[in-house]
Structure 1
Amino acid sequence: MAIDLTGRTAIVTGAASGIGRSVAVRLAAAGASVVIADRTPLPWHGGPSTEHLVTAAGGTAEFMACDLAVTSSVEAMFARAEARWGHVDIVVNNAAVSTGTSLTDTDDADWNHVLAVNVTGVFTLCRAAVRHMLDRPPRGEVRGRIVNITSQHGMVAAPEDIAYGVSKAAVAQLTRQIAVEYAAQGIVCNAVAPGKIETGPSARAEDPRWHEYWTSRTPWPRLGRPEDVAGAVLFLASDEASYITGVNLMVDGGWMAG
């Protein structure tokens, strides 16, 4: 049975590029009206905007500028989405940054920026979403759904990327906290933990040392694609995911099973 999100509104952060772009397109294809929350509307790797992709396919989407490192920007974006559609049913916290540095090479500014975007930004949007959802009548058993994007590197050490790894571990705990504290009120909160997902060219993607590391850790005979993560998010954002909350679902090709 195809998943139907008709009549629901979803916010996806970091939706201009990469995993967030794929998630936004997938949710819109299922019928959701999608807020594309990002700093800029165009993908960093080039090509048409996510809003264009969705609307050209007959879906509904609107880009809304948002800087997750600034609490007022996150709250203003949520308020705009609420005013535009009257309700927010699904929130996907995908946007994240990293420094690619070890402990001794990470300065205060970089550390603080990663935590501001990857942890505080997620906290702020979750808080706004839960406050909004608590004021709404439930659809069946559920008032709203939150899906946070974590990482396998929030469960095992993130090589040469300490701030990123610590931030993703924090988001996994935030997911559990929200799931437990608001289950009785019908708010569902889960996470998806991708393994290595190929999202386009980068310094690490073009370095043979990193490619060997990723492939050696991944039992599946390929690395991940953004669509792999989008499928898991779509499931958790839908009514098909019943009696599931507080889960950190791994989409990693078997990385964490090895």
Structure 2
Amino acid sequence: MRLQNKTVIITGASSGIGRAIAIRFMEEGANIVAVDISKDVVEGGRPVIEALHAIGGNAIFLRGDVASSADVGRVFAEAQTCFGRIDVLVNNAAIHAPTPLAETEEAEWDRVMDVNLKGAFLCSRAAVRIMLEQEIVDEARGRIVNIASQHGMVSAPSDFAYGVSKAGIAYMTKQIAADYAAQNIICNAVAPGKVLTGKGGRAVLPEMLEYSRQRTPMPRLGTPTDVANAALFLASNECTYITGHNLLVDGGWMAA
């Protein structure tokens, strides 16, 4: 029970990696605030709040757009009212615009940056403002775990805006960590490689999967649970004297 009685806000929690993180953290005793723009599960299945309640403990679902400062303010206010303290924020919400630079429309660019970067900024700012007023517990006033990507470090083929946004997340992680370490606020990131979430689209075309298999040294591709386990470590008290780190969960892709 590594997160016993810790309150965690997770954005993009309805589906994929965010859903896996919410479930894994609930299994470790956390109070979960699952945030998403919709309750619909992209890969199918019951809503995340039902899955969380089946495990037990305390969980709420709050509908909100992380790109909206009004929505973010409401979500954090409701979470604080409900649980009194915010121990961990997981910035997971993200979208793609699967086009290269020359084919990327301005509206696509703006929406990706609004969700992936502005959303992380708004949520991190709200979290830090609350955490600065909290007592230190287990050497931390609070922790932020950003979901970055290996494509913030190497090119994201034909996914220009997404790759740039994830590079921004990696930088944001370091900046928050350096600015607030003295106040016992810890900020790290997880950078997944190829992860099979159950979603469809271009990313799971046979040629794309074959490329990823050939590029990954380990004999399988990643799962949302792989990412959730790494996020759990960074969110827990086991993560000591580590801040500003971008933890690769990529099966050795970046080492090859």
Q: TM-score range by the shorter chain?
A: over 0.9
For the residue of structure 2 that corresponds to 1:175, the secondary structure is helix
Counterpart residue number, 2:125: 127
Of 19, 23, 41, 1:25 maps to 23
Candidates 15, 32, 35, aligned match of 2:33: 35
Give me the CA root mean square deviation.
Answer: 0.9
Q: Secondary structure at the match of 1:37?
A: strand
> How far apart are 1:201 and its partner, in Å?
3.5
Q: Partner residue of 1:238?
A: 236
Distance of aligned partners of 1:155 and 1:90 in 2 relative to their CA distance in 1, 3 Å threshold: same
- Bigger Cα displacement from structure 2, 69-78 vs 128-137: 69-78
Aligned position for 2:13? 15
Query: 2:10 is matched by which residue type in structure 1?
Result: V
Return the alpha-carbon distance in structure 1 between the equivalents of residues 68 and 125 of structure 2. Answer: 14
Query: Which of 221, 232, 241 matches 1:223?
Result: 221
TM-score (norm 1): 0.97
Alignment of 1:31-110 (within 5 A): 31-110=29-108
Quote the offset at 1:203 in angstroms: 1.9
Aligned letter for 2:51? Answer: L
Out of 147, 151, 154, the residue aligned to residue 153 of structure 1 is 151
Deviation at 1:206, TM superposition (A): 4.0
TM superposition shift of 1:177: 0.2
- Equivalent residue, structure 1, for 2:138: 140
1:135/1:247 Cα in 2 relative to 1: closer, same or farther (>3 Å)?
same
Q: Give % identity.
A: 52
Alignment map for 1:159-178 (pairs within 5 Å) = 159-178=157-176
Q: CA deviation at 1:140?
A: 3.1
Is the alpha carbon distance of 1:230 and 1:206 closer, same or farther for their aligned partners in structure 2, counting shifts above 3 Å? closer
Distance in 1 (CA, whole Å) between partners of 2:169 and 2:99 is: 20
CA distance in 2, matches of 1:205, 1:35: 29
Q: Report how far residue 4 of structure 1 moved.
A: 2.2
